[in-house]
Amino acid sequence: MPTPTPVVSGAVLSPSGSAATDPVIPGFYPDPTICKVGSDYYLANSSFEYFPGAPLFHSTDLVTWDQIGHIMSRRSQFQYGSDGPSTGVYGSTLRFHSGRFWFITTNVSTFDSGQLLLTADDPAGEWSDPIQIPDAIGIDPDIVWDDDGICYLTWNALDFSDGGRGILQATLDTTTGKLTSPAYQVWQGTGMVAPEGPHLYRIGDYWYLLLAEGGTERGHSVTVARGTSPSGPFESCPWNPIFTHRSSGHPVQNVGHADLVPDLDGGWAAVYLGARPHGSTPQYHVLGRETFLAGVDWLEGWPVFDEGRFQAEPVDTDFIDAFATPTLHHRWVAPTGEPDRIAKHLPEGGVALAGIPGQGGLCVRVRDLSWRADAVLMASGTFRVRIDDRHWYGLHVLDGSVTVEAQIGDIRSTVSSSPFAGGAVTVRIESVPPVSLPIPLGHGGPDDIVLSFDAGDGFHELSRLDGRYISTEVASGFTGRMLCVGAADAESRLLRVTYEKR
C-alpha cells in the first residue's frame, strides 16, 4: 500500500504566509476543537488556569477567526478547586447536534467531578451550567451520536496519581450525566506514549477514531483508526502516524491534537496545535501551543493532511485598551482569579487595580514572536511577562521608584531600580532578538526581554534579560507567555495598555 509523502515527512518547509508555518490563531490557544454549522465555523481552545475559560472563536472561511467570547464565563461553570499552573480547563470537544451546541471538557481543578458537559442555543450567548459526569474520570472527552441518537463518550482515563488506564468509552445520558453502559477500552493507538485527545467521527461507511500520541512535546503526532461501529473494533491506518513533525527541521513542532471538519467546498480540513520554537538547542517555545490549519484529502479511505492548502492571513494582534467602558474586553483573563474583581472601572478613565491574595493579576496573551507592550500606571502598580507564578520578569512601581524584578523557580531577585518623580509612568516590556550568539559561542535564547520606563523624559532601559527562562521548556506546563498587570498598593491605577507586533 502506498505511503503518502506529505503526511509524515514534515521536511519540506512552506513559505511564510502558509498556514503550515503561520498559525491562524496565534498565541496560547491550544487543543483546538471545531464544528461547522451551515457556512459558519466555531472553534474553542483549552485555557487551563485562566478565567474566563475556553475562548470561543467564529469564522466563515477557516482562516480568519474572531473571538466572540468564552464558553465558561461564570464561576458556576468553572469552579475553584486546586489551583496552580496548568490546572483548569483541558482538552475539549465542541459539536453541533439536534439544533444545539455541545461542549464537553475537564476542569482539572475539580478533577474528581469527572467530565463537564455544557450546551447553548447561541454559541455567542450564555452557555448552561455544566452537567457533571462523575463516572468518567480523566481528560480530553469527546462526544458523538449514532443514527439512533445514542451518545458515545470517549476519553483518556488518566489519573494524575496512578497514571493512565487508556482510551475508554461508554454510552451517555446527556440529560443526567450518567453512563448508560460500563466503560470499555477502545483503540489505544499505535504504541507511542500518551495516547490522548480522542475524536470520533462518522464519515461515509466508517467510524474514524483520531488520537494524539507521543506526548504534546517534540514527539507529538496524529494517528487514526477506523471501524464499522463507534465502539470498534478499530483497524489502525497502515501509515500511522498520519501527521507529525517529529525529528524534522520544520519551524512548527509539537503538532498534534487535531480535529477534523468539513470545509465549504465539500472537502475536509483539520485544525491542530503546534509550537514555534527558537534559539539554541533544545530550542524554546514561548507563546504556548497555537492553532494551525491544514487541508485533508482521502487516500484509500484514510485521511491525509495537506499542510500547504491554506494561505494564512496576517492576524491583527495590536490593540490599545484605555478601559473606557465598565465591561472588560474578552482579551483579559486572570489566573485563578476574577478579572472584574481585579480591575474596577473608574469614571474618569482607566481601572483601579485590586491586590487580591491568590488571584494573580489582569492578564492578556502575548501573541507574537517579536512585540512591545506599554502599561501606563498612576503612581504604583506592576507589569509582568509571565509563564506562571514562578517564572516571570516584571516592573514594580511604588514609592517613586521603578524596579525590575525577576523570579525563576524558587529564586526571586531585584535586578535594577531607578527613581522617578511620581505621577503617571509608562512601563514597557518588549521582546527583541538576542544579543548572544547561539551555542557553543553564546547562549542564544529565543529572544531577550527588555524592561524600561518613561516618566515624561523618554524611555530608560533598566534591564535586558534572557528570554529562555520565560519559556515552556524551562517552566514546564501547557501555557504560554502572558502580560500581567497588578496592584502594588491600595492606590494602584492602570490608565492604558498598548500592545504591538514588531
Same domain, 231 and 365: no
17 — pLDDT class (breaks 50, 70, 90): confident
What pTM was computed for the model? 0.95
Domain containing residue 453: CATH number: 2.60.120.200
Of all residues in the chain, what percent carry a pLDDT higher than 90? 90
Amino acid type, 101: F
Whether residue 238 sits in one domain with residue 332: no
Pairing of β 53-59 and β 50-51: unpaired
Q: How many CA atoms lie within 13 A of 63 on its CB side?
A: 15
Question: What does the pLDDT read at residue 438?
Answer: 87
Strand (E) positions, 361-410? Answer: 362-365, 371-378, 381-388, 391-398, 401-408
Q: Is the pLDDT of residue 79 over 80?
A: yes
Range in 147-151, 371-375, 423-427, 442-446 with the lowest mean pLDDT? 442-446
Q: Among 166-180, 296-310, 352-366, 374-388, which is the least confidently predicted range?
A: 352-366
The answer as to whether 295 is a domain residue is no
Q: Is residue 358 within 8 Å of 484, Cβ to Cβ? A: no
Q: Regarding beta strands 206-213 and 319-321, do their DSSP bridges make them parallel or antiparallel, or are they unpaired?
A: unpaired
Is residue 247 assigned to a domain? Answer: no
Residue 488 and residue 381 share a domain: yes
Q: Say whether both 225 and 98 belong to one domain.
A: yes
Cell of 203: 464519515
Within a domain: residue 423?
Answer: yes
Residue 1's pLDDT is 36
∠ CA 255-257-262, nearest 5°, is: 105
Cell numbers placing 474: 524551562
Would the pLDDT of 3 be above 50? no
Q: What is the CATH number of the domain that holds 208?
A: 2.115.10.20
Question: Taking residues 427-450, what's their average pLDDT?
Answer: 94
pLDDT for the residue 141: 98
- Give yes or no for residue 8 having a pLDDT over 90: no
- Judgement on whether residues 105 and 207 belong to the same structural domain of the protein: yes
Q: What is the DSSP string of 135-197?
A: T--SEEEEEEE-TT--EEEEEEEEETTTEEEEEEEEEEETTTTEESS--EE----SS-S--EE
- In DSSP terms, 24 is beta-bridged to none
Report the domain count for the chain: 2
Same domain, 324 and 463: yes
156-160, 374-378, 496-500: range with lowest mean pLDDT:
156-160
Considering the domain boundaries, does residue 323 fall inside one? yes
- Give CA–CA dist 216/291, Å, rounded: 14
The residue segments making up the domain with residue 350 are 319-501
Nearest-angstrom CA–CA distance, 169 and 166: 10
234 and 89 in one domain? yes
Are 229 and 136 found together in one domain? yes
- Give the per-residue pLDDT at 15: 52
Nearest partner of 459 among 415, 402, 407, 379, judged by Cα: 402
Please state, as a whole number, how many other Cβ atoms lie within 10 Å of the Cβ of residue 268. 19
333-340 mean pLDDT: 92
Residue 441 located in a structural domain: yes
Of 339-348, 350-359, 459-468, 470-479, the range with the lowest mean pLDDT is 350-359
Residues 236 and 325 occupy one common structural domain = no
Residue with the three cell numbers 444545539: 100
Helix (H, G, I), strand (E, B) or coil at 107: strand
Name the active-site residue from 22, 49, 140, 196: 196
Where helices occur in 316-469 by DSSP H, the ranges are 339-342
The residue type of 200 is L
Q: How far apart, in whole angstroms, are the C-alpha atoms of residue 121 and residue 131?
A: 16
* 44-67: pLDDT as tens digits: 999 999 999 999 999 999 999 999
Neighbours of 358 (CB within 10 A): 10
Please give the single-letter amino acid code of residue 253: Q
Q: Average pLDDT of 351-374?
A: 91
Q: What's the pLDDT score for residue 10? A: 35
Residue that is written with C-alpha cell 526581554 in the block: 449
Residue 212 to residue 224: CA distance in whole angstroms: 9
Q: Tell me if 224 is assigned to some domain.
A: yes
348 is a catalytic site residue = no
Q: How many CA atoms lie within 13 A of 401 on its CB side?
A: 8
Predicted confidence at residue 323, as pLDDT, reads 97
Q: Is 40 a catalytic residue?
A: no
Domain assignment of residue 122, yes or no: yes
Query: Exposed, middle or buried, 299 (CB in 10 Å: 0-12/13-18/19+)?
Result: middle
Q: How far is CA 472 from the centre of its chain?
A: 13
pLDDT in tens, 215-266: 999 999 999 999 999 999 999 999 999 999 999 999 999 999 999 999 989 9
DSSP, collapsed to helix, strand or coil, labels residue 62 as coil
Q: Would you say residue 160 has pLDDT above 80?
A: no
Per-residue confidence (pLDDT) for residue 6, from 0 to 100: 36
Residue 109 is classified by DSSP as G
Helices (H), 46-136: none
- Cβ atoms within 10 Å, residue 133: 26
Residue 209 and residue 328 in one domain: no
By the 10 Å C-beta count (0-12 exposed, 13-18 middle, 19+ buried), 421 is classed as: exposed
Beta-bridge partner residues of 233 = none
Residue 16 has pLDDT above 70, yes or no: no
Mean pLDDT for the chain overall: 94
How many other CB atoms are there within 10 angstroms of residue 329's CB atom?
12
Quickly state the pLDDT bin for 163 (edges 50, 70, 90).
Answer: low
What cell does 113 get? 467531578
Does residue 177 lie in a domain region? yes
Q: In this predicted structure, what is the pLDDT of residue 49?
A: 96
**213 shares a domain with 89:** yes
What is the Cα–Cα distance from 335 to 333, expressed in whole angstroms? 7
Distance CA 459, CA 426 (A): 8
Same domain assignment for residues 201 and 75 = yes
Rg of the Cα trace of the chain? Answer: 23
In this prediction, residue 12 carries a pLDDT of: 40
